[in-house]
Chain A
Amino acid sequence: MIYRENGQFKTSYAADQQIFPIRQDRIAILALLIFAGVGVPLFADEYLFRAILIPFLILSLAALGVNLLVGYCGQITLGAGAFMAVGAYAAYNFLIRVDGMPMLIAVLLGGVVAALVGIVFGVPSLRVRGLYLAVATLAAQFFWDWAFLRIRWFTNYSSSGSVSVAELDFFGWRIETPVEKYLLCLGLLILFALVAKNLTRGAIGRQWMAIRDMDVAAEVIGIRPMYAKLSAFAVSSFYLGVAGALWGFVHLGSWEPAAFSIDRSFQLLFMVIIGGLGSIMGSFFGAAFIVVLPIFLNQFLPWLGGLVGVTISTAAVSHAEFMIFGALIIFFLIVEPHGLARLWSTGKEKLRLWPFPH
Chain B
Amino acid sequence: MAFFIETLIGGLMAGMLYSLVALGFVLIFKASGVFNFAQGALVLFAALAMARFAEWLPAWFGIESLALANVLAFLITIAIMFVAALLIERLVLRYLVNQEGATLLMATLGIAYFLEGFGQTVFGSDIYKIDVGMPKDPVLILENVFEGGILINKEDFIAAVIAATLVTLLTLFFQKTATGRALRAVADDHQAAQSIGIPLNRIWVIVWCVAGVVALVAGIIWGSKLGVQFSLATVALRALPVVILGGLTSVPGAIIGGLIIGVGEKLSEVYLGPSIGGGIEIWFAYVLALVFLLFRPQGLFGEKIIDRV
A interface residues (Cβ-Cβ under 8 A, vs B) = 70, 76, 124, 127-132, 134-136, 138-139, 142-143, 145-146, 149-151, 214, 216-217, 220, 262, 266, 269-270, 273, 277, 315-316, 319-330, 333-334, 337
Contact = CB atoms under 8 A, between A and B. Distances in A.
Contacts of A139: 283, 286-287, 289-290
B277 interface: yes
A124 B294 contact: yes
List the 4 shortest-distance A-B pairs measured between CB atoms, nearest first: A322-B117, A326-B113, A326-B114, A329-B110
B294 A320 contact: no
A324 B117 CA distance: 9
A167 B113 CA distance: 37
19 contacts: A70-B102, A76-B105, A124-B290, A124-B294, A127-B294, A132-B298, A134-B35, A135-B289, A142-B282, A214-B309, A315-B125, A322-B117, A323-B114, A323-B117, A329-B113, A330-B111, A330-B114, A333-B99, A334-B96
B107 interface: yes
B293 A124 contact: yes
Given A136-B244, A273-B102, A326 B290 contact: no
Given A146-B283, A319-B120, A131 B290 contact: no
Contacts of B111: 326, 330
B110 A132 contact: no
A128 B294 contact: yes
B106 interface: yes
B305 interface: yes
B117 A320 contact: yes
Interface residues of A: mostly helix, strand, loop or mixed? helix
A319 B117 contact: yes
B263 interface: no
Given A128-B297, A326-B112, A217 B309 contact: yes
B92 A136 contact: no
Nearest to A321: B117
A316 B96 contact: no
Interface residues of B: mostly helix, strand, loop or mixed? helix
B55 to A, nearest CB: 19
Interface in B70-115: 91-92, 95-96, 99-103, 105-107, 109-115
A266 B248 CA distance: 21
Given A319-B120, A337-B103, 12 more contacts: A76-B102, A76-B105, A129-B305, A138-B240, A139-B283, A139-B286, A143-B286, A146-B282, A273-B102, A323-B117, A323-B121, A329-B106
Nearest to B110: A329
Interface in B279-309: 279-280, 282-283, 286-287, 289-290, 293-294, 297-299, 305, 307-309
A322 B113 contact: yes
A134 B309 contact: no
A135 B95 contact: no
Given A70-B102, A136-B293, A131 B118 contact: no
Contacts of A328: 110
B241 interface: yes
B243 interface: yes
Nearest to B277: A150
A131 B36 CA distance: 11
Contact of A216 (B99, B105, B106, B307): B307
Given A217-B309, A220-B309, A329-B106, A132 B299 contact: yes
Contact of A319 (B105, B121, B240, B309): B121
B269 interface: no
A316 B279 CA distance: 33
A15 B243 CA distance: 52
B297 A127 contact: yes
Interface string B123-156: 0010000000000000000000000000000000
Given A138-B237, A323-B121, A131 B113 contact: no
Nearest to B106: A273
A334 B308 contact: no
B265 interface: no
Given A124-B294, A321-B117, A337-B99, A330 B244 contact: no
Contact of A334 (B95, B114, B120, B277): B95
Contacts of B290: 124, 128, 136, 139
Given A130-B101, A216-B308, A135 B244 contact: yes
B299 A142 contact: no
Contacts of A124: 290, 293-294
Contacts of B109: 266, 270, 326, 329
A132 B309 contact: no
A333 B103 contact: yes
B273 to A, nearest CB: 11
A327 B286 CA distance: 30
B197 interface: no
A262 B117 contact: no
B107 to A, nearest CB: 5
Contact of B110 (A128, A277, A316, A333): A333
Contacts of A322: 113-114, 116-117, 120
B125 A319 contact: yes
